[in-house]
Chain A
């Protein structure tokens, strides 16, 4: 895979209606770039994807023989051209990453409700496995002239991350955020301290492992700062039919993550 990643496009700031049309069909891969186990792909952009916002996603699957039955949810990083970026985890993502330019992948989207406006000075808390949603948010905010500080929660460096180590992948991911935000690397056990030193942002957007999300939730609660959680679980259908992508909320009930995936952080039980 040698093709270069396309230049970043702007993610249009438009809140789609819950009932906006959703495209389903084959889409041609335009470019593919892979580095440190992170694959970035652009596609010929179907009209339905012209107005997307950070937090939205698409269900993507390979058309190759032997591909898993279920599509994988992918954050939409940018439109024009449509872009996704992901680290591969299992057979589904490995086959998507193996696509060649010109190959058709099956895509359904855009799906999900995006972030509400986060104000002029937002803090993003993100960890390697959740970077897609937050990268699109950082890029959109940068395009709109808004300041963003990213606390990048690093994984134990020797831990495997696809074909590389988490240390190598985290460094590559931080470099992807750097053109758009101020980035601070934070080991997981130092997150509470890093938040205490982060000042008073206008809002927080967090996408991390549950323990990290709980730390962010408690901090937002104590500091009375609006917080938004980008949830990530396995999503078999992405559109609310299979009722399987659940997360427990503080009301004691399961909620479907695909009906977000962005929720007020105060509502989720971590």
Chain B
């Protein structure tokens, strides 16, 4: 019996991922290239870049909570220059698409970062819309259709594909998704962390920021529901599912809900080889069924 090599490539608009597994921004670093060949992933995604120097939140920034992780890192940043000089080169040359995540506290701030990346050899830009909008009293862009549309529209003059990362905290995530797509988003990442809180035994909050983003297995049912609702509303828009993915079944569930690819976050902290193992398992799954990875996506 001759082994057939399954076609793992998945199109996300104009970008073709090598396979459906990419890292979730903020849970990955180029230093994992010391652990495994980063070229085996569907694409690479560095931690969100924000404008200027930002220290991030004080410690404690991360804790185990409710069977998942709760984090309030605060997107520390050394600024654009350091990102282009030190961070970006470490992600290049792996032979797999590079998607850069950006965020800002104004729509114009998003646009400036996207413009900066225009000629930097990046394959797509992910707009992390979970950041507070300083022009709207600190409400997160991703909770509001108008603010989401403004942030995406501000970036749309870019030639780069724009992927909008949504928040499961939104009341009507399908409406937010539609606003992002109407404003020019080429794909959607569904979704970011769910706001939560944890206490220490002494009754004080476990995180210095008091609240944080819940990730890992406990958010899967929520983000899977979000993925399904967005896929139902926007059948033509590629979706990258994200939230609590660590097993092949998790990947298949998100693809059955309508995702074309998935982003893996917290599971990499627990077992650093999770993503490459998932690539191998998807390959075996597709081989045994004689299908391509893109066939795993079920859309209405």
Residues of A participating in the B interface, judged by any CB pair closer than 8 Å: 19-25, 61, 68-71, 106, 108, 233-234, 236-237, 239-244, 246, 253-254
Contact = CB atoms under 8 A, between A and B. Distances in A.
Contacts of B163: none
Interface in B41-74: 47, 55-56, 58-62, 64, 67-69, 71, 73
Contact of B71 (A25, A106, A108, A242): A242
A27 to B, nearest CB: 13
6 contacts: A24-B36, A69-B270, A70-B69, A233-B59, A236-B62, A241-B28
Pick the most buried of B28, B34, B58: most chain A CB atoms within 10 A of its CB.
Answer: B34
Given A70-B269, A106-B271, A108-B272, A239 B35 contact: yes
A20 B100 CA distance: 26
A243 B34 contact: no
Contact of A24 (B35, B64, B76): B35
B205 to A, nearest CB: 16
B278 to A, nearest CB: 15
Interface of B: 26-29, 31-36, 47, 55-56, 58-62, 64, 67-69, 71, 73, 76, 216, 266, 268-273
The 8 closest A-B pairs by CB, nearest first: A241-B29, A244-B62, A244-B61, A22-B34, A24-B272, A240-B29, A237-B269, A22-B35
A21 B34 contact: yes
Given A68-B64, A69-B269, A106-B271, A243 B31 contact: no
B56 A243 contact: yes
Contacts of B272: 24, 108, 239
A239 B31 contact: yes
A20 B59 contact: no
Contacts, number: 87
A69 B35 contact: no
Contact of A254 (B26, B31, B32, B76): B76
Contacts of A253: 55
Contacts of B61: 242-244, 246
Contacts of B47: 241, 243
B32 A246 contact: no
Contacts of B32: 239, 241
A23 B32 CA distance: 11
Nearest to A233: B59
A237 B216 CA distance: 14
A241 to B, nearest CB: 4
Contacts of A19: 33-34
A69 B56 contact: no
Given A69-B68, A241-B28, A241-B269, A234 B56 contact: no
Given A243-B73, A253-B55, A254-B55, A108 B64 contact: no
B283 to A, nearest CB: 20
B34 A69 contact: no
Contacts of A20: 34
Contacts of A244: 59-62, 71, 73
Contacts of A254: 55-56, 58-59, 76
A70 B28 CA distance: 15
Contact of A70 (B58, B270, B273): B270
Contact of A69 (B27, B31, B36, B216): B216
A61 B47 CA distance: 25
Nearest to B74: A243
Nearest to B47: A243
Contacts of B64: 68-70
Contacts of A243: 26, 47, 56, 61, 73, 76
A246 B59 contact: yes
Residue with the greatest number of chain B CB neighbours at <10 A, chosen from A25, A61, A70, A106: A70
A22 B35 CA distance: 5
Interface centre among A22, A241, A254 (most CB of B within 10 A): A241
B55 A236 contact: no
Contacts of B71: 242, 244
Contacts of B59: 233, 244, 246, 254
Listed residue (A20, A68, A71, A237) with the most chain B CB atoms within 10 angstroms of its CB: A237
A108 B273 CA distance: 10
A71 B270 contact: yes
Contacts of A241: 26-29, 31-32, 47, 268-269
B266 A108 contact: no
Contact of B270 (A61, A240, A246): A61
A105 to B, nearest CB: 12
B266 A69 contact: yes
B292 to A, nearest CB: 29
Contacts of A21: 34-35
A20 B33 CA distance: 10
A108 B268 CA distance: 12
A96 to B, nearest CB: 14
A68 B62 CA distance: 14
A237 B270 CA distance: 8
Nearest to A241: B29
Nearest to B267: A69
